Structure 1
């Protein structure tokens, strides 16, 4: 097993399987690079390595914790784990979700950039919202090459468009052009003497769990949708991020979507509680109707009150909400 000359990290979400298959199908077996792929699959079973392995000449598998990095292989983030790239090896972690996702793209991009610097090629493909933008900023900052699928023809335009809006992107290409482009870039990097050996320190503490930075920033008056903890606000170039002391990370766009979903859940929980109260009121009416008509009437009034308040909450859920566009047309309720 030979170490790769180039580290290629690819992030995708909705529509990503077909896009990834197109790229991998165009790459030759002798490619002097290791590919790392994160697709937003959550904790669901994934057949992505099998799909990628049968479409081209490269081998593919779900990454294994501690596995050695090698050229000519596609390492896929397994379900419910972030894939962290360290010098010479892979680390898997069930650390806090980022942008509501685990596996998330940003930890993979960020760790690869800090471990391999200019030997990294970062690619953001189709998807909603903007996971991958912060990581691509890091790839660029460390001297790597940044590539984005043309959002005009992507299944999900928000992720690539966010990258274009916030990062100095080296290449914006149609999906069919990305395979040939990678072959040229890897060959040029090989000819220049580049070998994917960078920092020989272990990966960032942020990739493994808590950030350790919470006390350095004043908390904002917004709580984490995942754990309810206080959040700190930070700025990464033009990208606004929120991080809680546990380590959950959100861009402002994803934070808007997560907060909206949390608000809807709270309303639904309130509706459930009102339904339970209404049912208990009906039980009480049946229990005491023959004994105390006056008390039964009070329980009837309580049940009517439940119906009135339930109608108010149902109205809140059923009404159309305003979702203003943010940064290049990304809407906070988009998944």
Structure 2
């Protein structure tokens, strides 16, 4: 890496079906690939990500490892975001943070892409692979606005086409192709001569600083959008609506961020949780009333029995609502 010139960076985002796509992608990198590669693959907080590190090391001639906080990155290495933490990029270094989730995910793709765009402007190549919903779309737009390159997996090649389709529809891809054809393209792109870095828009800088936990105050969020009359489903805080091109997004002042589809999905999760709590409380109430009806004197038995029947009406309604939302819940879990 030439210390007098900013390097090219490759940032990659994947979700459902990501292991197979990433394995195919990294297998195409030559041993002397002249750029660092940073990967976010959505994973649960309970997983370690070691299985993916092992698969990528077995598949690629490059060394793959989890990124570490304040690690100086090197060309020809692959850095994978660790479980339950965001991976960000600043000049020459990696930052690992455990701030608020974005799009219901940690690690999330948008913070990585956005931080790369702020730090390296037009020297960033972004790749979106298979996955549900639209994490990565806002980050890819930040890359495009800073002069970087946008690559989307051909949706017909993706096991789950939502994420690349969202990028194509909301950002516009410079290249849309199957994973099998990305290696040759990347080898060409990272060796191209580029003009000087372009200025970074202020809103992208603000969001990148929020992900670093440098900013988490009301004026910062108010500079990004307008307050709306509903709340963050994760913390209960007020949300601000941001227009990001054709994409609607929302932020709270503690740092949670959502696209409209991610917000809707998280609201569905919270609604289901609330319904289960309500069902438990009504069933407990009914059980207590039934017990009381067996011990109360005859004058009160009729009233208590009626209240138990009323509780059963509410129980039946809540069960019906839970059945009606079951399909939505299953799709949210897969995302």
Q: TM-score, normalised by structure 1?
A: 0.88
The corresponding residue for 2:286 is: 278
Deviation at 1:2, TM superposition (A): 7.2
Residue 204 of structure 1 aligns to a residue in which SS?
Answer: helix
The corresponding residue for 1:45 is: 48
Residue 59 of structure 2 aligns to a residue in which SS?
Answer: coil
Q: Distance in 2 between matches of 1:333 and 1:92?
A: 26
Q: Is the 8 A contact 2:211 2:255 kept in 1?
A: no
Deviation at 1:80, TM superposition (A): 0.4
Q: Distance in 2 between matches of 1:80 and 1:139?
A: 24
The corresponding residue for 2:185 is: 181
Q: Is the 8 A contact 1:256 1:333 kept in 2?
A: no
Q: Which structure carries more helix by proportion?
A: 2
C-alpha distance 214-56 of structure 1, shift in aligned 2 (>3 A): closer
Q: What's the CA shift string for 1:165-202, capped at 9, x where partnerless?
A: 01131100111111221112123x2xx27899x99x99
Q: 1:17 aligns with which of 16, 19, 36?
A: 19
The number of equivalent residue pairs is 321
The corresponding residue for 1:327 is: none
Q: Which moved more, 1:261-270 or 1:303-312?
A: 261-270
Q: Is the 8 A contact 2:13 2:109 kept in 1?
A: yes
Q: Is the 8 A contact 2:154 2:176 kept in 1?
A: yes
C-alpha distance 71-135 of structure 1, shift in aligned 2 (>3 A): same
Q: Is the 8 A contact 1:82 1:108 kept in 2?
A: yes
Q: 2:160 aligns with which of 156, 162, 165?
A: 156
The corresponding residue for 1:231 is: 239
Q: Distance in 1 between matches of 2:114 and 2:184?
A: 25
Q: Is the 8 A contact 1:115 1:203 kept in 2?
A: no
The corresponding residue for 1:313 is: 318
The corresponding residue for 2:309 is: 304
The corresponding residue for 2:170 is: 166
The corresponding residue for 1:104 is: 108
Deviation at 1:282, TM superposition (A): 2.7
Q: Is the 8 A contact 1:62 1:76 kept in 2?
A: yes
Q: Distance in 1 between matches of 2:332 and 2:230?
A: 16
Q: Distance in 2 between matches of 1:293 and 1:308?
A: 24
Q: Distance in 2 between matches of 1:235 and 1:71?
A: 35
Q: Distance in 1 between matches of 2:325 and 2:15?
A: 27
Q: Distance in 2 between matches of 1:314 and 1:181?
A: 53
Q: Which runs of 5+ in 1 are unaligned?
A: 324-330
The corresponding residue for 1:7 is: 9
Q: TM-score, normalised by structure 2?
A: 0.88
Q: Distance in 1 between matches of 2:222 and 2:293?
A: 55
The corresponding residue for 2:38 is: 36
Q: Distance in 2 between matches of 1:235 and 1:211?
A: 20
Q: Distance in 2 between matches of 1:138 and 1:194?
A: 18
Deviation at 1:77, TM superposition (A): 0.3
The corresponding residue for 1:326 is: none
Q: Distance in 2 between matches of 1:154 and 1:65?
A: 32
1:214 equivalenced with 2:221 (yes/no): yes
Q: 1:135 aligns with which of 128, 136, 139?
A: 139
